[in-house]
Amino acid sequence: MKTFGAGLVFLAELGMYAGYTVLGWSLAEGVLGVVRAVALPVAVAVLWGLFLAPKAMRPMPPAPTVVVRLLLLLGGAVAASFAGFWWLAVAVAVLAMVGTLLARGAERERPGSHSPN
């Protein structure tokens, strides 16, 4: 179940980037819209890669990682909603929540698992 949950979180991550992209595009017109459409998801990707990715350069402890990951994923859902893509917002939110529950729940119920959370 952990792998399936991680797959759902990955799909939510892709949707999150799309949400931040469409928000950036909708905040301004012309060149500024393009700049924001690129800058928002790139900034989130840098944070994700530094602190949240499985092979992060500076990994955080497990509990804060889950919280920050959910905040960014759900922020992408909110961004998609603000941009008028409610279906993307719902999909990202559901994938993020279900995926996180499955991935974290599988860690806890596995015998011999020494997860601190």
The DSSP code sequence of 31-46 is: HHHHHHHHHHHHHHHH
Percent residues over pLDDT 90 in the chain: 75
What pLDDT digit, counting tens, does each position of 4-47 carry? 999 999 999 999 999 999 999 999 889 999 999 999 999 999 99
In the prediction, which pLDDT does 108 show? 55
CA 15 – CA 81 distance, rounded (Å): 12
Whether the Cβ atoms of residue 66 and residue 104 lie closer than 8 Å to each other = yes
Q: Where are the domains of the chain?
A: 2-107
What pLDDT digit, counting tens, does each position of 67-111 carry? 999 999 999 999 999 999 999 999 999 999 999 999 887 555 545
pTM of the model: 0.85
In the prediction, which pLDDT does 107 show? 53
CA 45 – CA 72 distance, rounded (Å): 10
Side chain identity at 60, as an amino acid letter? M
